[in-house]
Structure 1
Amino acid sequence: MIQKFKKPVIFIPVTLALFLGVFAFQFKNDKLFAIAKNIDIFATLIRELDSYYVDEINPDELVTVGINAMLEELDPYTEFIPEEESDDFRMLTTGEYAGVGALIGNRGGGNMILMPYTGFPAQNAGLKIADFILKIDSLDVSKKSTSEVSELLKGPANTSVKVTVKRNLDTLQFSLVRKKISLKNVPFYGKLDDKTGYIKLADFTTNASSEVRNALVALKAQGADRLILDLRDNPGGLLNEAVEIVNLFIPKGREVVKTIGKLQNVNYTYKTTKTPIDKEIPLVVLINERSASAAEIVAGALQDYDRAVLVGRKSFGKGLVQTTIPLTYNAQAKITTAKYYIPSGRCIQAIDYAQSRENGSVTTVPDSLRKAFKTANGRTVLDGAGIEPDEKVAEVSYAPISYTLVTGNHVFDFATDFFYRNKTISNPKSFEVSDQEYEAFKKFLIGKDYDYTTYTEKSVQDLEKYVSKEPYYEEIKSQLEAIKSKVNHSKENDLDTHKKEVRKILREEIISRYYFQEGMIEAGLYDDPAVELAKSYLNNPVKISKTLTASVK
């Protein structure tokens, strides 16, 4: 319950009031003078550099460097956006741009298509994952950077562009018409079993709440009566979209988030304004260390109202609000103007940028200063370090061989080879990499460089490094060599030792060739520890009830 208190009447002597008024006026004047003085010094310096510096300078570049260096003293989210970067900024905030609808990147040997997005020009025209981009129109781009190629593929909607690619031994040309691309906030939703619905929310750009709403309605129509909302790796975005998503599960008129800053016009309480879609459906929300900002508002509000069980790992801890402010000459500034507070009253901001140290590093909020708050049911929650899940899931760690096979592009290349050998595969839920195909992968690796250091090797190397300084090193040197020999022998068998893990990685990469981003997400859900734990909650209403009820532990 929120109680309202009458503001106490405070009497200040007239003389003191006049003094305070004059002091405040003088302080403001001093501050304005300091700002004007330093701007004048900065402008004078630029002019003198342009006149006297031994080489020619670029005033735009130099001033931008100065502005960015100044903003780095504040926090990572306060940014200067020059006119030429406004399109990229708009794409980040709205998820919209005009282009061909494909993710590109360098996988060794040049830029290639990494993911054509379903339903957009690149995919519709027939471009495939692993197509090397040779030319855009008549321009050779084989040696250009990824960012340069990306810019060339973008352009005004309804304009034509020709893309020449190398696919295996063939050179192919595709004619595309650029379209307005609106990236999906919900790249995948579906049923994990007869009763369990799943929604992957990847971003909070424009229409995020509408996409979640549509997915929820569709899943309920298909018979889903329990739900997993996956906010893992979601970096956040538009605050109003977060409020609308919470409103899907929380009654009308409830506070979702409050923003408080230095200026009165940024102080605002956001409440639910609509009738929810379903305020009873059992709900589990997945979070991890890369769930931030708007994702934390959704997870935190649902936790504060005891509306959902949170499963995963502690979230990022970004409790700062940014406002975009127009500047002269079509530039913009994204400025941190407030902190947000979720319904229990806590702010989850984990890093105190105001207390940055002289060496530029910043400090996290110490445990001794974290405050306790209560959820609607009386459960204790803490501020100052992100959102703590109700049930923690250990981070999945991959064996060094798996990491090397991925970063060395061997998994990527084998999946491409598999795709051109097999026209079709079964659906993402049922497809598996057979033992025969795994043996083919092992043969594929023969002669390829995928050297790596195992954890045991690293331990032995560290031991040898320290022992080499000791007088008895020569006495045990032969024993160390024997250990290293055994470790190397074990390493030869790592493809068999970690077969299950490597097969899972291969499976997801192969599925992406046939079912694109949606298929990769769906494939990754099976044998996912967090998803399995979420399902165990949803299959046990008593467990959910106990978790969401305050109790002495």
Structure 2
Amino acid sequence: MKKLLSKRITVSAVAVVAVIAFFSFKSGDDKNFQIAKNLNVFSAIVKELDMFYVDTLDPNKMVREGIDNMLYSLDPYTEYFPEEDQSELEQMIKGSFGGIGSYITYDTKLKRSVISEPFENTPAAKVGLKAGDILVEIDGKDLLGKNNAEVSQMLRGQAGTSFKLKVDRPNLKGTYTPLEFTIVRESIQNPSIPYASVLENHVGYINLSTFSGNPSKDFKKTFLDLKKKGATSLVIDLRNNGGGLLDEAVEIANYFLPRGKVIVTTKGKIKQASNSYKTLREPLDLDIPVAVLVNSATASASEILSGSLQDLDRAVVVGNRTFGKGLVQVPRSLPYGGTMKVTTSKYYIPSGRCVQAIDYKNRNEDGSVGAIPDSLTKIFHTAAGREVRDGGGVMPDIAVKQEKLPNILFYLVRDNLVFDYATQYCLKHPTIASPEKFELTASDYTDFKATVKKADFKYDQQSEKILKTLKEAAEFEGYMKDASDEFKALEKKLNHNLERDLDYFSKDIKRMITNEIVKRYYFQRGSLIQQLKDDNDLEAAIQILNNPAKYKEMLSVPAVAKK
């Protein structure tokens, strides 16, 4: 009896201690309690569903969707990468991956992936793969019906491993020639500077495509080389540069700014996430005039470089408003080989502004996020006193109107008509002129138009869609009876006319075809040379660099003082 009573007292004491611990934990740290509670609930739900749900569940898929939806509710950049997706994360950080070095696209008619652009000096280019090659088999596995993500995963692998690739190559007979290649994967490092040159009037030009890897080293070498070749001013092209490593942006800014300048400050919840990044070395050139080209795809580290040079009045920014990514992510290791790229801080450039444009904290009713309206942005000032704003990316000092591409071009690209024409063109022309000199002839464009007509090409015209909507509104509101004749006359004028549209929009269509052809022979470098031949942003940058007085005035006089 004493033993039983002793046991009961002991159990009761343990229970009391547990209850005291439970309530002290809850009252002492309610947030930790809520986390533990919800994790237990989540775990219980998964187990109950696995045991009792009417259909068989895939636990990996179910939990992954739960994780992705949880992270989606935070901000657009916090992501989970399981062990099998580590190569994707590594590519983001280092700018490299093990593979063949080629873009692929999916042909919906063939239900197969197609080589769209092999990179220069990579395994794809070395073995002779060409744009237009249809991917048939990898190591005997048929690729029919596999999407681009699946095929890309099969093409990638550890550097030094090999595989056999079967392709069907289009020929001049309108059929396909089967080919087989043995390809050894390499570490693919996308070039951080695909093109650099000295342009007219001694203007140096550097196209910087990424801040992943170690681009500052390449930039320094390229810049000094351009100066040796006679460059007396510089254009840094950051258009379509999605960013990369913050440290690399600071290092490149240091080339043009004095030692000890604060370039960017990060502020987060924990001490380790809050830092100040200064220029640590002596600059390469404090005096050379600099213009930076930006557009809506200029993001993250690109905005740190362009924004800091603007805030410190060291460069004129030209183009269109940048993307507006003012958040910093760091990788955090997780169990079972996973990694989470988590947003730990916001960054602030020298004027004190944060360029974050997406208001992810205030979501719409459908869960989507919108941009911070201009009316809610705040005014900051550059070192010279010029007004700049936060909350919407980096606004250029010289805004260049962006040309809108015609609707027909979207459909020509979507239906692979431009791509397929370029493939046939290359079969007929073993060589072409250099990118600087190559032009599509009138005869070539006539051939393209014939190809389009033969393909029974159909496309939607925006004017027809708008007119249809207007007619429906007029009928609903009772205006159609009186406006019937006017609508008929307008419909007649807006009649679908393929020949007319191919001629009317020939400039834009020719430009797209020319670019597609040139990169087949001269890769990305040739494509950039071709695009720069008719580039309004670059022209505006060259104009300001060639006008020292205007350049100096733009960087030194506050906008409020200009009359």
Q: 2:159 aligns with which of 151, 157, 170?
A: 157
Pairing 1:104–2:111 present: no
For residue 175 of structure 1, give the secondary structure of its aligned residue in structure 2. strand
Q: 2:301 aligns with which of 294, 302, 313?
A: 294
Who is 1:519 aligned against? Answer: 526
Quote the Cα distance in structure 1 between the aligned partners of 2:481 and 2:373: 48
Contact 1:231–1:291, Cα closer than 8 Å, also in 2: yes
Q: 1:504-515 maps to which residues of 2 (within 5 A)?
A: 504-515=511-522
Who is 2:81 aligned against? Answer: 81
Q: 1:422 aligns with which of 414, 420, 429?
A: 429
Q: 2:535 aligns with which of 528, 533, 540?
A: 528
- Structure 2: give runs of 5+ residues left out of the alignment: 1-23, 171-175
Quote the Cα distance in structure 2 between the aligned partners of 1:366 and 1:438: 44
Q: 1:416-495 maps to which residues of 2 (within 5 A)?
A: 416-469=423-476, 471=478, 473-474=480-481, 476-488=483-495, 492-495=499-502
Q: 1:136-535 maps to which residues of 2 (within 5 A)?
A: 136-168=138-170, 169-193=176-200, 195-469=202-476, 471=478, 473-474=480-481, 476-488=483-495, 492-535=499-542
For residue 111 of structure 1, give the secondary structure of its aligned residue in structure 2. strand
For residue 200 of structure 2, give the secondary structure of its aligned residue in structure 1. coil
Once the two structures are superposed, residues 505-534 of structure 1 have per-residue CA deviations (whole angstroms, 9 ceiling, x without a partner) of 111111111111111111111111111111
Quote the Cα distance in structure 2 between the aligned partners of 1:303 and 1:248: 15
Contact 1:254–1:272, Cα closer than 8 Å, also in 2: yes
Who is 1:46 aligned against? Answer: 46
Q: Which amino acid aligns with 2:143?
A: V
What fraction of aligned residue pairs are identical, expressed as a percent? 42
Q: TM-score, normalised by structure 2?
A: 0.90
Contact 1:194–1:223, Cα closer than 8 Å, also in 2: no
Change in Cα spacing, 1:160 to 1:391, as seen in structure 2 (3 Å) is same
Structure 1 residue ranges (4+ consecutive) displaced by more than 6 angstroms after TM superposition:
24-27
Quote the Cα distance in structure 2 between the aligned partners of 1:48 and 1:80: 25
Once the two structures are superposed, residues 74-107 of structure 1 have per-residue CA deviations (whole angstroms, 9 ceiling, x without a partner) of 1111112211211211112211111111111113
Report the CA distance between 1:139 and its aligned residue.
1.5
Contact 2:26–2:33, Cα closer than 8 Å, also in 1: no
Quote the Cα distance in structure 2 between the aligned partners of 1:157 and 1:471: 69
Who is 2:21 aligned against? Answer: none
Quote the Cα distance in structure 1 between the aligned partners of 2:209 and 2:370: 29
For residue 416 of structure 1, give the secondary structure of its aligned residue in structure 2. helix
Change in Cα spacing, 1:140 to 1:366, as seen in structure 2 (3 Å) is closer
- Tell me which moved more, 418-427 or 186-195: 186-195
Contact 2:25–2:33, Cα closer than 8 Å, also in 1: no
Quote the Cα distance in structure 2 between the aligned partners of 1:27 and 1:367: 43
- Structure 1: give runs of 5+ residues left out of the alignment: 1-23
For residue 353 of structure 1, give the secondary structure of its aligned residue in structure 2. coil
Pairing 1:69–2:69 present: yes
Once the two structures are superposed, residues 344-401 of structure 1 have per-residue CA deviations (whole angstroms, 9 ceiling, x without a partner) of 1111112332233454233543444422221111111111211111011112101222
Change in Cα spacing, 1:471 to 1:215, as seen in structure 2 (3 Å) is same
Once the two structures are superposed, residues 435-485 of structure 1 have per-residue CA deviations (whole angstroms, 9 ceiling, x without a partner) of 121122222222223323334333432332223345563564354333322
Q: TM-score, normalised by structure 1?
A: 0.91
For residue 384 of structure 1, give the secondary structure of its aligned residue in structure 2. coil
Once the two structures are superposed, residues 481-506 of structure 1 have per-residue CA deviations (whole angstroms, 9 ceiling, x without a partner) of 33322322765312222222222111
Quote the Cα distance in structure 1 between the aligned partners of 2:257 and 2:25: 46
For residue 503 of structure 2, give the secondary structure of its aligned residue in structure 1. helix
Quote the Cα distance in structure 2 between the aligned partners of 1:145 and 1:354: 34
Report the CA distance between 1:231 and its aligned residue.
1.0
Matched residue count: 530
Change in Cα spacing, 1:493 to 1:267, as seen in structure 2 (3 Å) is same
Quote the Cα distance in structure 1 between the aligned partners of 2:44 and 2:465: 56
